[in-house]
Structure 1
Amino acid sequence: MNVQPGLDQFLSLEAPLPRPRRRRGLRLAALAAAVLAIGFVGVRYFYPHAVEGEVLRPGMLDVELQGPGTLSALTEASVGSRIQARIEELAVDRNDVVAKGETLARLAFDDLSGEFDAAEASAHAAERTVSVAQAERDRAVATLEKARATHERQVALLAKGVASEAGLEDALATRRQAEADLARAGRAVEQAEAERDAATARIAVARAQLDDSVLRAPISGVVVSRTHHVGEVLTPGSEVLHLVDPASLVLTARLDESVISAVLPGQAARVTFTRAEDPISGHVLRLRREVDEETREFEIDITLDTLPANWALGQRAMARIMIERRGPVLTVPTSFLVWCDGRPGVWVATRARARWREVTLGEAGAKRVEIRRGLDAGQKILKPGDLYPFMRVRLAGPAT
């Protein structure tokens, strides 16, 4: 009868036995977490990480200005048609090199030959008309001289009482008629000469049109574009070919107006074209005396010592103009700068720990920038990467 309560009491006493096992598991987990935390902290703050960098030392700095630009030409020409005609022949194509005066294209102008022949025929006829009119004028001059002499003789005879009044009047009428004939002959000569000049002008027009049907190179250079093909009909003013003198190619670069006083003709420059391996040297040719009202930029022309293997008008490039050589000054690579809340700074290694140091920048060069305040010679500067404050570091070597 009393067996069951004893069993229940036994069972109630044995139930709490698994709890010590859970406590042991929690203690092991906490120990493992502590070990991991200690390992993480050790790796993060006590294990030295190799970081690229350099020891800061004074050196020379080439102060440069940088600006984008496009390739343009100082000598170029557009070859087009002055008449409406069909292209009969194209002697050149893109990339062809041509000499000044070389025939580039011929236009078919079917009515031109007939107009030229007609103009020449009219000129010959007008020349003959001038000759006939001049002969008539010479005859009128001779007739007038005879009439004048007769009239003067009749006046003398009338004074002696030998001639009559009627004879004098007839001589005077003959003289006046001769004078009128001479005036008419003179006007005929003038009209004939005017017709001859008009015919000559028509010949000049026809010859000019004939010359316009042959398109010649106005400059020596390279054909950079062709906009029409054989068989197409051109209207007056249509461009057929565009020529450029490669010797006149320049890079037109844009700079902010704030540096206009620092740029002078003759300054050394380096130009890097898109995808070019090495920069091309050159120098500033001239400054353009106009500032864009919207961008507040001005343009400069840079002549190139050599041209890229493949060039094209309008090709983009980056220009660097050296305006000053300063030194010795402290400089850091521009890739080492790290901005924090709009302030420039550099990671430095102090007592083998990484720390960010705010700096004051000075002049800038192609790859380095002057540090005016914030760093001292001999300090170790680090290349940015996965750095964080108080990270244990060791200098692995110069940054690349």
Structure 2
Amino acid sequence: MRPGKLIIEIKGPGTLDALSQAALGSRLQARIETLAVDRNDVVSKGDVLGRLAFDELAGGLAAAEASAHASERAVDTAGAERDHALASLDKARATHERQVALVAKGVASQAGLDDAAAIFRQAQADLVRARRAIEQAEAEREAARARIAVARAQLDDSVLRAPIDGIVISRTHHPGEVVAPGSEPLRIADPTSLVLNARLDESAIASVQAGQLAHIRFSGFETPINGHVLRLGREVDEETREFELDIALDRLPPNWALGQRGTVRIEVEERPDVLTVPQTPGTPRRRTRGLARAERAGRWQAVTLGSAGGARVEVRGGLEGGDIVLAPEGLHPFMRLRVADSTP
């Protein structure tokens, strides 16, 4: 054994997830008219992926537009009536002022003045009524415009557009089927946002930092994929006492699927000049891990192990540099051994 570099690693399970994904559906019950994409199709933001049939909404939009046109004409009519009331009020005011002057000079009767005052008050009331009619017509016009906006928004919902760049990962319906509010006929994920959502025991939270090198191995794939710690979760599960973290991948496996299971090894520390042995060294005796040493004729030797990294584990006590460690299988105490000459 010779001291060497040991990279301390923390290992944990995880599942593949996408930070950027979107579901396409309907807020109303509708029939699927067309679906232009299927699973694994690549789409760009804004692409039309399908259409929903909303026949009754088209009629509602037409009715709202007709109501808006009628309310516009009502506003114009009320405005004309207001102008007429203003003109009548100006005339009634002038007549009343003239009658007041004539009565003061004694050339007009009080009855004429009373008639002029009544006409003036009526003209004022007509103007107030005309202004209220304008306000009501304008309110009806705004309500009609709001109904148009709602109808157009609902009709726009009938067109399924890609909200992000990505790949169609799920298609659960077909043309002709009726979708309920909240259902998701299509789901899209951006492959550039894929991460391994890993879980580690809370005891490791002090050792893990963003940017640390990671090695990910997915089930069914022999070759590991490199990556790095992207971000740490800030919540520990109360039952499992685990926290989550996202691992960014340098590349994706040839075939991938959201929810795919993997295992991550995170390099958290590098230690130089450390004695190490394979991860599964020796055999236990009286609950103590031990190894066979050639210098002692294969005698069992208790060892103290430390941190692990890769396929090796740190030896903190029981061995020294230069010791020859033997695999324990097939050995017994005081067995005669011969060390082979390693000289070429």
CA contact (8 A) 1:336 1:382 kept: no
Taking a change above 3 Å as real, the CA distance of residues 396 and 185 of structure 1, as seen in their structure-2 partners, is farther
Alignment counterpart, residue 159 of structure 1, candidates 96, 104, 108:
104
Does structure 1 residue 254 correspond to structure 2 residue 180? no
Alignment counterpart, residue 280 of structure 2, candidates 323, 332, 335:
335
Q: Answer with 1 or 2: which has the greater Rg.
A: 1
CA distance in 2, matches of 1:367, 1:396: 25
TM-score (norm 1): 0.82
What does the per-residue CA deviation read over 1:40-67, in whole Å, with 9 as the maximum and x for residues that have no partner? Answer: xxxxxxxxxxxxxxxx111110111111
Residue 162 of structure 2 corresponds to 217
1:272 deviates by: 1.0
CA distance in 1, matches of 2:176, 2:332: 72
1:152 deviates by: 1.1
CA distance in 2, matches of 1:395, 1:185: 115
Residue 26 of structure 1 corresponds to none
Q: For structure 1, which segment, 304-313 or 383-392, has the greater mean C-alpha deviation from structure 2 after superposition? A: 383-392
Q: Tell me the SS of whatever aligns to 2:298.
A: strand
Q: Tell me the SS of whatever aligns to 1:81.
A: coil
What does the per-residue CA deviation read over 1:140-177, in whole Å, with 9 as the maximum and x for residues that have no partner? Answer: 11101110111111111212222211111111000111
Q: Which residue type is aligned with residue 260 of structure 1? A: I
Residue 385 of structure 1 corresponds to 329
CA distance in 1, matches of 2:76, 2:304: 95
CA contact (8 A) 1:99 1:220 kept: yes
Q: Tell me the SS of whatever aligns to 2:138.
A: helix
- Structure 2: gaps spanning 5 or more residues: none
CA distance in 1, matches of 2:202, 2:41: 40
RMSD: 1.6
Alignment counterpart, residue 359 of structure 1, candidates 295, 299, 303:
303
What does the per-residue CA deviation read over 1:215-248, in whole Å, with 9 as the maximum and x for residues that have no partner? Answer: 1111111111112121111111111111111111
Q: Which residue type is aligned with residue 266 of structure 2? A: I
Alignment counterpart, residue 314 of structure 2, candidates 370, 382, 386:
370
Alignment of 1:304-323 (within 5 A): 304-323=249-268
Identity percentage over the alignment? 65
Aligned length: 342
Taking a change above 3 Å as real, the CA distance of residues 337 and 182 of structure 1, as seen in their structure-2 partners, is farther
Q: Which residue type is aligned with residue 329 of structure 1? A: V
Alignment of 1:99-178 (within 5 A): 99-178=44-123
Alignment of 1:273-292 (within 5 A): 273-292=218-237
Residue 13 of structure 2 corresponds to 68
Q: Tell me the SS of whatever aligns to 1:215.
A: strand
1:306 deviates by: 0.7
1:395 deviates by: 5.3
What does the per-residue CA deviation read over 1:20-44, in whole Å, with 9 as the maximum and x for residues that have no partner? Answer: xxxxxxxxxxxxxxxxxxxxxxxxx
Taking a change above 3 Å as real, the CA distance of residues 314 and 196 of structure 1, as seen in their structure-2 partners, is same
1:394 deviates by: 4.2
CA distance in 1, matches of 2:341, 2:274: 22
Residue 244 of structure 1 corresponds to 189
CA distance in 2, matches of 1:294, 1:397: 56
1:396 deviates by: 6.8
Alignment counterpart, residue 232 of structure 1, candidates 177, 180, 191:
177
Taking a change above 3 Å as real, the CA distance of residues 269 and 341 of structure 1, as seen in their structure-2 partners, is same
Q: Which residue type is aligned with residue 57 of structure 2? A: L
Q: For structure 1, which segment, 274-283 or 305-314, has the greater mean C-alpha deviation from structure 2 after superposition? A: 274-283
Q: Tell me the SS of whatever aligns to 2:209.
A: coil
1:138 deviates by: 0.8
Q: Which residue type is aligned with residue 267 of structure 1? A: Q
1:333 deviates by: 0.9
Q: Tell me the SS of whatever aligns to 1:147.
A: helix
Q: Which residue type is aligned with residue 67 of structure 1? A: G
CA contact (8 A) 1:109 1:213 kept: yes
Q: Tell me the SS of whatever aligns to 1:290.
A: strand
Q: Tell me the SS of whatever aligns to 2:273.
A: strand
CA distance in 2, matches of 1:230, 1:392: 79
1:337 deviates by: 3.7
CA distance in 2, matches of 1:163, 1:383: 135
Residue 135 of structure 2 corresponds to 190
- Structure 1: gaps spanning 5 or more residues: 1-55
Residue 27 of structure 1 corresponds to none
Taking a change above 3 Å as real, the CA distance of residues 90 and 180 of structure 1, as seen in their structure-2 partners, is same
CA distance in 2, matches of 1:381, 1:347: 6
1:397 deviates by: 10
CA distance in 2, matches of 1:123, 1:216: 29
1:390 deviates by: 2.9
CA distance in 2, matches of 1:140, 1:394: 124
What does the per-residue CA deviation read over 1:90-148, in whole Å, with 9 as the maximum and x for residues that have no partner? Answer: 11111111111111110111212222111111111111111111111110111011101
CA distance in 2, matches of 1:158, 1:291: 94
Going by fraction, where is helix more abundant, 1 or 2?
A: 1
Q: Which residue type is aligned with residue 138 of structure 2? A: E
Residue 27 of structure 2 corresponds to 82
TM-score (norm 2): 0.95
Does structure 1 residue 301 correspond to structure 2 residue 246? yes
